[in-house]
C-alpha cells in the first residue's frame, strides 16, 4: 500500500473544508469577490462553482441506480413481505417520532429565549413562497405512472415503490429469476465502487464548496441575526448529541460514541452539499460498510429517511416560527404551535432532501398558522449556512434509525459496528484481482494467437 496515501478520507475532507472556509472568509473579509473582480469571475463563480457543482452532480448521478439495485437486493435479501412491512413500519414510526421531538424541543427553547423580540424589520430580504405539494398529491405521487420518468426526475418515493415491487415480483418468480438477482447484486457492488471513486474527489470539491459559500456569506447579516443563528445551531447540536444518541442507546443499546465517530464522513458530505438526497450514496456506504447494517435494511431505510426524515429541517422551522412571530409581535398560542408541529412533520414526508427545501416547507407552515410569508425574507441570507448544518443532522437521524431498525431485526453485524476501522477508506489504489488479470491477459493472448 502506498504510505503517502494513508491519511484517512475523513481527515482529508476536514482539511479541505477548513482550508475552504479560511479562503472563503478571507475573500469575504477583504471584499476580494466584488461583482466584476477576478476572484469573483474566475474563482468563486468560476473554478469553485464548477468543481463544487461537478462533485454534487457526480454524487447525484449515483443515487438512482444505487437505490434501485440495492433495494432489489435488499428485498430479495429480506425474502418475505411480512418482514419488509415490519421494517417499513418501524422506520416510519421512528422517523416521525424523532422529527416530532426535534421540532417540539426547538419551539420550546426558542420560545423560552424569546428570540426576535427586539428585532427591527428593516433587514428583511424579499421572499416569495412556492407551492408545496398537498398531502393527497404526495400519496398519489408515491405510485409512479411512469417509472422511467420518476427515475429521470430522481423522485425518491416512487422510485422506492417501484424498486420494492420489482424486488417482490422477482421473489415470486422464484428460481427462474436467480440470474437476475445475481446481476442486481453485481450491479450493486459496482455502484458501491463508484461511490468510493466519487468520494475520492471530496477533499478538493469540499474545499471549493466551502470557499464559495463562505465568500458569499454576509457577515453583517450573520451578526444581526445572531440570536436566531445561535439558538438554531444550539438546538441542532443538542438534537444530534443528546436526543438522537439517547434514542440510539435506548432503542438499540449500541455505543453512541462509536456511532458519532463513524457517521462523520456522511455528516461532512451532507454539510458540504446541503442535500440529504445527494448524500444517499455516502450514507448508504457508511451504515452498511462502517456500521454493519445489512443492506436488506439499509437499502430501504436510507433513501426513505433522506426523503421523509428531516429532524434538522424541523428544528429550523420551529426556531424560525418563534423568531418571526416575535419579530412581528404575533402570538400563535398553544394551538398555533401544535399546528406548526403537525404541519412540519407532515411536510417533511412529501418533500425531497435537496438544498433550501426547508424554506419552502416553512412557507407552507406559515400559511397554515397565518404568519406573514414575507417574514421568511428575514432569515434568507443565513439560510445556506443553516441548511448545511441541518442537513448533517437530517442525515445523522437517517443513520440512527437505520441502525436501530437493523439491530432490532437481527440485521446488524456487531463486530463491524464495534470495529473502529471497519470500512474506513484510506487508500484508492486501483485493485484488480490477480486471477482476473491473468484471465484477461490469457484471453488477449488467445485472440492474438488465433489466425
**In the complex, which residues of this chain contact ligand ASP (CB under 6 A)?**
274-276, 310, 313, 353-358, 387, 390-391, 394
Q: Which of 362, 350, 385, 328 is nearest to 106 (CA)?
A: 362
C-beta closer to ligand ASP: residue 32 or 373: 373
- Which of 407, 298, 313 has its CA nearest to residue 352? 313
Number of residue whose CB is nearest ligand ASP: 358
Minimum separation from the CB atom of position 390 to ligand ASP (A): 5
Cell numbers representing residue 89 in the block:
413500519
Closest approach, Cβ 371 to ligand ASP, in A, equals 18
| Least gap, CB of 69 to ligand ASP (angstroms) | 23
User: Helices 276-285 and 383-408 sit at what angle, rounded to 10 degrees?
Assistant: 40
- Residue with smaller CB distance to ligand ASP, 243 or 411: 243
Which CB atom, from 74 or from 353, has the smaller least distance to ligand ASP? Answer: 353
Contact 292, 333 (CB under 8 A): no
Least distance CB 129 / ligand ASP (angstroms): 14
Q: Which is nearer to ligand ASP, 104 or 391 (CB)?
A: 391
Q: In whole angstroms, how far apart are CA 66 and each of 116, 147, 374, 425? A: 44, 15, 39, 19
Closest CA to 298 of 38, 74, 16: 74
Nearer to ligand ASP, 28 or 344 (CB): 344
Question: Which element (helix H / strand E) includes 238?
Answer: helix 226-238
Distance CA 361, CA 394 (A): 15
Residue 135 Cβ vs ligand ASP, minimum distance, rounded to whole Å:
19
| 326 beta partners | none
We find the least distance from the C-beta atom of residue 165 to ligand ASP, in angstroms, to be 26
At CB < 8 A and 24+ separation, what contacts does 79-88 make?
79/171, 81/168, 83/409, 84/164, 84/168, 84/300, 86/409, 87/297, 87/300, 87/301, 87/405, 87/409, 88/300, 88/304
DSSP letter at 27 equals H
Minimum distance from residue 370 beta carbon to ligand ASP (Å)? 23
Q: Which is nearer to ligand ASP, 215 or 354 (CB)?
A: 354
Q: Choose between 352 and 367: whose C-beta lies nearer to ligand ASP.
A: 352
Amino acid at each position: 500500500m502506498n504510505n503517502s496515501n494513508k491519511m484517512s478520507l475523513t481527515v482529508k475532507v476536514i482539511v479541505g473544508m477548513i482550508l475552504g472556509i479560511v479562503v472563503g472568509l478571507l475573500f469575504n473579509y477583504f471584499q476580494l469577490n466584488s461583482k466584476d473582480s477576478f476572484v469573483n469571475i474566475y474563482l468563486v463563480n468560476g473554478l469553485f462553482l464548477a468543481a463544487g457543482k461537478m462533485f454534487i452532480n457526480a454524487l447525484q448521478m449515483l443515487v438512482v441506480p444505487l437505490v434501485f439495485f440495492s433495494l432489489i437486493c435488499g428485498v430479495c435479501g429480506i425474502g418475505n413481505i411480512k418482514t419488509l412491512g415490519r421494517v417499513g413500519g418501524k422506520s416510519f414510526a421512528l422517523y416521525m417520532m424523532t422529527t416530532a421531538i426535534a421540532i417540539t424541543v426547538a419551539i420550546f427553547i426558542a420560545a423560552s429565549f424569546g428570540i426576535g423580540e427586539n428585532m427591527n424589520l428593516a433587514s428583511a430580504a424579499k421572499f416569495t413562497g412556492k407551492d408545496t405539494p398537498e398531502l393527497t398529491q404526495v400519496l398519489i405521487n408515491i405510485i409512479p405512472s411512469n417509472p422511467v420518468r420518476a427515475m429521470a426526475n430522481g423522485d425518491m418515493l416512487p422510485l422506492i415503490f417501484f424498486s420494492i415491487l420489482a424486488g417482490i415480483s422477482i421473489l415470486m418468480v422464484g428460481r427462474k429469476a436467480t440470474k437476475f438477482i445475481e446481476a442486481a447484486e453485481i450491479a450493486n457492488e459496482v455502484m458501491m465502487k463508484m461511490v468510493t471513486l466519487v468520494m475520492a474527489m471530496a477533499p478538493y470539491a469540499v474545499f471549493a464548496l466551502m470557499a464559495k459559500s463562505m465568500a458569499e456569506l454576509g457577515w453583517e447579516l450573520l451578526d444581526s441575526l445572531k440570536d436566531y443563528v445561535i439558538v438554531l445551531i444550539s438546538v441542532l447540536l443538542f438534537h444530534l448529541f443528546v436526543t438522537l444518541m439517547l434514542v440510539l442507546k435506548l432503542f438499540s443499546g449500541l455505543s453512541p460514541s462509536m456511532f458519532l465517530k463513524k457517521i462523520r464522513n456522511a455528516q461532512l458530505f451532507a454539510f458540504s452539499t446541503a442535500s440529504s438526497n445527494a448524500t444517499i450514496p455516502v450514507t448508504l456506504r457508511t451504515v452498511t460498510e462502517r456500521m454493519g447494517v445489512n443492506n436488506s435494511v439499509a437499502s430501504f431505510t436510507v433513501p426513505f429517511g433522506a426523503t421523509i426524515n428531516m429532524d434538522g429541517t424541523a428544528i429550523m422551522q420551529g426556531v424560525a416560527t418563534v423568531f418571526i412571530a416575535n419579530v412581528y409581535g404575533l402570538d400563535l398560542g398553544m394551538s398555533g404551535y401544535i399546528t406548526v408541529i403537525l404541519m412540519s412533520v407532515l411536510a417533511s414526508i412529501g418533500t425531497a432532501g435537496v438544498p433550501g427545501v426547508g424554506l419552502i416547507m416553512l412557507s407552507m407552515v406559515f400559511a397554515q398558522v397565518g404568519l406573514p410569508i414575507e417574514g421568511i425574507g428575514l432569515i434568507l441570507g443565513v439560510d445556506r449556512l443553516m441548511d448545511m448544518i441541518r442537513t448533517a443532522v437530517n442525515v445523522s437521524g437517517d443513520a440512527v434509525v437505520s441502525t436501530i431498525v437493523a439491530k432490532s431485526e437481527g440485521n446488524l453485524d456487531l463486530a463491524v459496528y464495534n470495529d473502529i476501522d471497519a470500512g474506513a477508506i484510506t487508500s484508492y489504489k486501483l485493485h484488480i484481482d490477480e486471477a482476473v488479470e491473468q484471465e484477461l491477459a490469457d484471453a488477449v493472448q488467445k485472440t492474438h494467437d488465433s489466425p
